Structure 1
Amino acid sequence: MTKLLNPQLQTHRAQLEEITKDLHELTIRIGHEEMSHTVSDLRNRLHEPFMFVIVGEVKAGKSSFINALLATGEEITKVAPQPMTDTIQQILYGEERAEVMVNDYLKKIMLPVDILQDIAIVDTPGTNTIVAHHQEITERFVPASDLIVFVFEAKNPYRQSAWEFFDFIQGEWRKKVIFVLQQKDLMPAEDLAINIQGVKDNALKKGMTIPHVFAVSAKQEQEGQTTQSGFGELRAYIQNHITGGQAPALKLINSVATANNINERIATGLDLRQQQYRADQEFREDIRETLDEQETKSYKQVDLLNDALLGAYDRITTKKAYELEGGLSLFGLLRRSVSSIFSKTPSAQQWLTDLAKEMEDELNGALQQRLNEGMIDLADSIQQMAKIIDLKIRSSKTILSNDHEIFSDIAERRENVLRDLQDQFSRFISKTENFTDESLFPDKKNLSPNLAAGSGIAAIGVILMTVSQIGMLDITGGLLTAIGLLFAGFSTRSKRKKITDGFRQEIAQGRQRLTEEVNSTLKRYIVHLKKRIDDNFLRFDDLLKREGVQLEEISIQQSNINERLATIANALAPLSRDLDGRP
């Protein structure tokens, strides 16, 4: 069977080696150092023997169990009253005995023991040890294991720390586990049977389908009481399920499962990351739409203000045009000339001057009133643009938390950018100069004396009123100057038509200037302010742009790995069912 499987296994192992190489590159790319180490270990151990990882609490008898299992007649792993295993010890086959200290936490022991040609045994620090880093390094070693041998103290296999570690093994890595109750010689058979069933029941509650529990005594085994020690049953299990030519296939199946587990965890993290990206895109689009909506609303307020100003302008100028035509008629001029001789009735020239002055006063009063009424609504509309954006920034949706298992750095970077955006925008709306940029009103020399009544976003109404007042003065002042020059040229009746036509022309031009002043100045202000608000999102936009590119590339890479792992898993599925007995 082994010879028939070897060519297939070699092909699949070569394929898996390439996949784990790409998976390793993916973990480096996403910046997850721990996962990168795990995949690197997995890849490096593909050509190593089937690996037993012995876990359990301190003083559960792990070291004695390993010494008895190997049956070399010597103490391979140290046994002492106090905790001795302060490193992970990987026991491998070697032609001669040797020890190699790989690093501070890993020692390799080479032994000329036949069983080690098919399996490697890893002795780990206790799950409840007080020595720093022991549980951490044990957890880092578990993912590359092929079988977890969970050693309990036979008289008390219910310690919380041990079962919490079991939850980690099952929940995080779904590793194949067998249970060993060590030191069975210290218990009555009836109590031992109760504890064996208790371990099975506990394992079933935690999701195992067929818990395998072995009760052994290393002491009895080493003293030659092999029929009572329980090691015979355990060795038979190992022979039937692992060393009987099945270890290479099982190791490959386990390695595929571990690689798939890691890739699935990346996929789950990517899904959350993509949800966050889509939420951020929607948030950004909502900001743009809100700015567009508020711009439209503000434009409507400008149009309403313009209509109100033009209504007042038309009413006053039309009335004055009728007065002018009536006063310049032949009868009107004759009556005024005769009356001026016998009374204090002003001359025609004086009358024209008074007419112009009355129109100026009425225009300034009426336009100022309409301006005051309309500017309140306009200022409120423009202020809402900034207020709504500020509220939306503060209520943006967070899906990917900064304590995420894989993408915590991405989540933290996003959180920092969003926090900076909040702070930046708060500063933006609190500074008056952000709403009084001279480039908005290049022809308005100085607005500062009028801004004492407001600060930050609250100054918008004052700014608009100030600028518009200056504009109104420019219009009415320019209009009256032109009309004054026109009236000053009056000397004969023959110029009556020229005066009235000129008056109507100047009125029409003033009306046009009024419309242009209101629309161009105020709408330009709205456009510029909208852009300034939107510019606060430049860093956030850059984050979104880079995130979109990275997500696409990482997703393609992860999907490719997933497809290749699925192909190998499907090819190995029949073999997996035969070896493991699982559907």
Structure 2
Amino acid sequence: MINPSTIALRARIDEAVKDLHELTIRINHNDLAKTVSDLRNRINDPFMFVIVGEVKAGKSSFINALLQTEREITKVAPQPMTDTIQQIVYGEKEEVIVINPYLKKILIPVDILKEVAIVDTPGTNTIVEHHQEITESFIPASDLIVFVFEAKNPYRQSAWDFFKFIHEDWRKKIIFVLQQKDLMSPEDLEVNIKGVHDYAEKQGINNPLIFATSAKLEKDGNKIDSGFIPVRHYILENITGGKAPVLKLGNSVSTCLRINDSIREGLDLRQSQWEADMEFRKDIKNTLDNQEVKSYKQVDQLVENILAGYDRTTQAKEQELRDGLSFFSLVRRSISSIFTKKTSAKEWLETLARDLEQSLNTTLREKLHDGINDLADNVQQMAKLIDLKIHTSKNLLQNDHEIFSAIAERRHNIFRELQEKFEDFIKKSESFTDQSLFPDKTPLPGSFATGSGIAVIGLILAAITQGAVFDITGGVLTTIGILFAGFATSGKRRKIIEGFLHEITKGREKIEVDVTAQLKQYIKRLKERIDSNFDPFDLMLDKEKEQLALLNQEQAVVSNQFGTLDVEIKTLLSTM
């Protein structure tokens, strides 16, 4: 009978395992979810021995001798049996139930099976294609692994490879049995016992328990020399006699803690990757921001140089205008004497305006040529730097924890798509054009289309500024023509000079405002367009942040549950 406190403890553990199962579903790991589900389904099962070892190591003979039924429960054959797993449990009448092609359940009325169940597995050197069946269905839910070796040769690599597989993944309690000891001399047997002992310690098992048995001697009635007395004594002292149900619960909790720790490791790695990705995005944004500020400063410097050339040219023409309309010139000569038949006053003023236009075109084009090249280099550097950072960013999850390998692969694919998308982005000239910046909304000139990718930026910048710079003198011509009529009739030359200065000031403001605004608007939009390539990556980071917050919270709850249960079980076992 199981006491009420153990039953209550089992119910609490069942609820905790249920929460762990929901967590495995939440992380979308089907295999782990099935493992935890199987573990929960077996929580009411007896303490489970899982017998493993190579073909012909004597596993079946060992089980038959251990059960003391005077007959074969598991068949012993001269040739290896099929790779079927046999679960031997207590039943009021003998019965064999086939669960699936690789698993059958044997029910027999043997008293020891009221407290323990035994799982007989195929040989480790023949079960390669079905080892997952054992791992998923029995190893996680096992309470004791009995590793059976052929006494005369316990060094076969396939057996120890399987041992590592069990030990490293699940850290289950393992005892070693060297079967068929009757085929060896005592001296050779001791050598092999020591060999197994030393190798097990090397693999991290402290004080490994090793039993040497002979099913043949046990069957023949030589129970003293068969070696089964120490095995049964170990089982009696450490497992049966009321301890098995609590030990079963303790092993279930330990397995759940192992699974939960593995999830914790995976979450920590995912958290590290998310933080690294956020740093990567922060670095990208900082790079874009810094390049934007640098480009803005270059725009200000370019406009300042253009305005300086503009001022020198217009000031020279202003002085020429003042000299031509000076009071002394008018006093010294009449209007007709100042302006010969070849050149009327109107024509002279219009010529001055056209000369201004030509001088401005020449001067400002030179300033633009020098400044645009530098600015284009800096804007191109913004795109090149981002491309470099994308290709040199570390992909931390490429060797991710197995539990989250699907997440790692999905992130890797998104990052690869980002690399390919950005490579394509910087190759296309249309990525860097912006028709909204051209007042007439006309297509770019044919020469622009011959460029591709970032190489076209300089042409675009030049086109943006030329519209603002080279259409400012028409107003001067118009205004001078209108004001000349007033001058001719009233002699108010001041109006001509004031009108000239007004139009020159308007032109200067137009250059300063329009060139600055259009270039900075272009730089800003290009920065936003570059950054928009990261939209899928940013969406992934937002989802990952949300998922990590939820998973970390649920994992912490599960961890606390099993931590508390583990302490309670250890306390209970210490009193038994």
Q: Please tell me the TM-score bracket, short chain as reference.
A: over 0.9
Aligned twin of 1:473: 470
* 2:519 maps to 1:522: yes
Give deviations 1:512-548, integer Å, cap 9, x for gaps.
1111111111111111111111111111111111111
Matches within 5 A, 1:108-507: 108-129=105-126, 131=127, 133-140=129-136, 141-335=138-332, 337=334, 340=337, 346-401=343-398, 404-452=401-449, 454-487=451-484, 490-492=487-489, 494-507=491-504
Bigger mean CA offset, 412-421 vs 32-41: 32-41
CA separation of 1:480/1:124 partners in 2, compared to 1, >3 Å: closer, same or farther?
farther
**2:509 match:** 512
Query: 3-state DSSP class of the match of 2:492?
Result: helix
SS of the counterpart of 2:559? helix
Offset at 1:235?
A: 0.8
> Which one-letter code corresponds to 1:183 in the other structure?
Q
Number of the residue aligned with 1:55: 52
Distance 1:332 1:453, change over 3 A: farther
Matched-pair contact (CA < 8 Å) for 2:46–2:245: yes
CA distance in 1, matches of 2:272, 2:102: 39
Amino acid across the alignment from 2:130? H
Higher mean C-alpha displacement, 501-510 vs 137-146: 137-146
Question: How far apart are 1:412 and its partner, in Å?
Answer: 0.7
2:397 partner SS: coil
Contact 1:125/1:134 (CA < 8 Å) preserved in 2?
no
Shift, 1:192, TM fit: 0.6
TM (norm. structure 1) is 0.95
Deviation at 1:134, TM superposition (A): 2.7
Structure 2 runs not aligned, ≥5 long: none
CA deviation string 1:366-409 (max 9, x = no partner): 01100001001111111111111111111222222255311011
Give the Å deviation of 1:442: 4.6
Identity %: 58
Residues 486, 159 of structure 1: alpha-carbon distance in 2 compared, 3 angstrom cutoff: farther
Residues 282 and 479 of structure 1: is their aligned pair in 2 closer, same or farther, counting only changes over 3 Å? farther
Tell me, yes or no, if the aligned pair for 1:340 and 1:347 is still in contact at 8 Å.
no
**Aligned counterparts of 2:103 and 2:545: Cα–Cα separation in 1:** 41
Secondary structure of the 2:147 match is strand
Q: Deviations over 1:429-470 (max 9, x none)?
A: 111112113233353423232315521111000111122223
Residues 226-282 of structure 1: CA deviation (Å, up to 9, x unaligned): 222111111111111111221111111111100000000000000000000111111
Cα distance in 1 for partners of 2:271, 2:19 equals 21
What SS does the corresponding residue of 1:447 show, helix, strand or coil?
coil
Paired residue for 1:100, among 92, 97, 101?
A: 97
Going from structure 1 to structure 2, the CA distance change for 1:443 and 1:521 (only over 3 Å counts) comes to farther
Question: AA paired with 2:530?
Answer: I
Instruction: Give the stretch that moved more between structures: 274-283 or 75-84.
Output: 75-84
In structure 1, the residue matched to 2:561 is 564
**Partner letter of residue 284 of structure 1?**
R
Checking the alignment, whether the CA contact within 8 Å between 2:90 and 2:109 is kept in structure 1 is: yes
Q: Does structure 1 retain, via aligned residues, the 8 Å contact 2:468–2:510?
A: no
- The RMSD of aligned alpha carbons is 2.0
CA spacing shift, 1:349–1:337, aligned 2, 3 Å:
farther
In the alignment, is the contact (CA less than 8 A) between 1:90 and 1:108 conserved in 2?
yes
* Aligned position for 2:28: 31
Distance 1:498 1:479, change over 3 A: closer
**Structure 1 residues 527, 195: closer, same or farther in 2, change over 3 A?**
same
1:78 counterpart letter in structure 2? K
User: What residue number does 1:555 align with?
Assistant: 552
Counterpart amino acid of 1:10?
I
Provide the C-alpha distance between the structure 2 equivalents of 1:525 and 1:482, rounded to a whole number of angstroms: 33
Q: 1:343 to 1:470 in 2, by over 3 A?
A: closer
With normalisation by structure 2, the TM-score equals 0.96
Preserved contact between residue 269 and residue 401 of structure 2 (Cα < 8 Å): no
Deviation at 1:170, TM superposition (A): 1.9
